[in-house]
Structure 1
Amino acid sequence: MNCVLCKSQLIHGEANHIFDSGSQIVIIKNVPAMVCHQCGEYYLDNETAIKIEKIVDELLKNKSEITIANYSEIAA
Structure 2
Amino acid sequence: MKCVICKHGETRRGHTVVTLERDGTLLIFRKVPAWVCTNCGEAYVSEEVTEQLLEAAEEAVRNRVQVDVRELVPVTV
The TM-score normalised by the length of structure 2 is 0.82
8 A contact 1:26–1:60 mirrored in 2: no
Structure 1: stretches of 5+ with no match in the other structure: none
Give the match for residue 3 of structure 2: 3
Structure 2: stretches of 5+ with no match in the other structure: none
Equivalent residues, number: 74
The TM-score normalised by the length of structure 1 is 0.83
Between Structure 1 and Structure 2, whose CA radius of gyration is higher? Answer: 2
Amino acid at match of 1:59: A
Q: Deviations over 1:5-60 (max 9, x none)?
A: 10211110011111011522111111110011221111111111111111111122
Matches within 5 A, 1:1-76: 1-7=1-7, 8-21=9-22, 23-72=24-73, 75-76=74-75
What's the RMSD between the two structures over aligned residues? 1.5
